[in-house]
């Protein structure tokens, strides 16, 4: 049974570096082709919200940890929450 996952994050204040990584971030999430994926940045570009369905929170954590924003140390705070 799939679970709805919410990945909520705030960026560090490094706009130039963030801007250079945005295309990698977008490409990463598109390539995954996750079930019921929705996501995007906040209007003020301070962070974003991604939601999708997957079998477990552990699987979601493995996906999130490979986000280019995390790999390039651009996330200040993040939360991964699973629902029913």
pLDDT tens, position by position, 57-74:
999 999 999 999 999 999
pLDDT given at position 74? 98
pLDDT given at position 31? 98
Mind listing the pLDDT tens digit for each residue in 13-31?
A: 999 999 999 999 999 999 9
In this prediction, residues 42-68 reach a mean pLDDT of 97
What is the C-alpha separation between 6 and 82, in angstroms, rounded? 6
Domains of the chain: which residue ranges? 3-82
84 has a pLDDT exceeding 80? no
CATH superfamily of the domain spanning 3-82: Dimeric alpha+beta barrel (3.30.70.1060)
């Amino acid at each position: 049974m799939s679970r709805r996952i919410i990945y909520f994050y705030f960026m560090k204040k490094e706009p130039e570096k963030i801007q250079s990584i945005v295309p990698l971030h977008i490409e990463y999430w598109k390539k995954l082709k996750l079930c019921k994926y929705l996501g995007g940045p906040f209007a003020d570009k301070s962070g974003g919200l991604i939601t999708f369905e997957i079998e477990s929170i552990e699987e979601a954590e493995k996906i999130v940890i490979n986000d280019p924003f995390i790999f390039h140390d651009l996330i200040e705070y993040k939360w991964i929450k699973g629902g029913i």
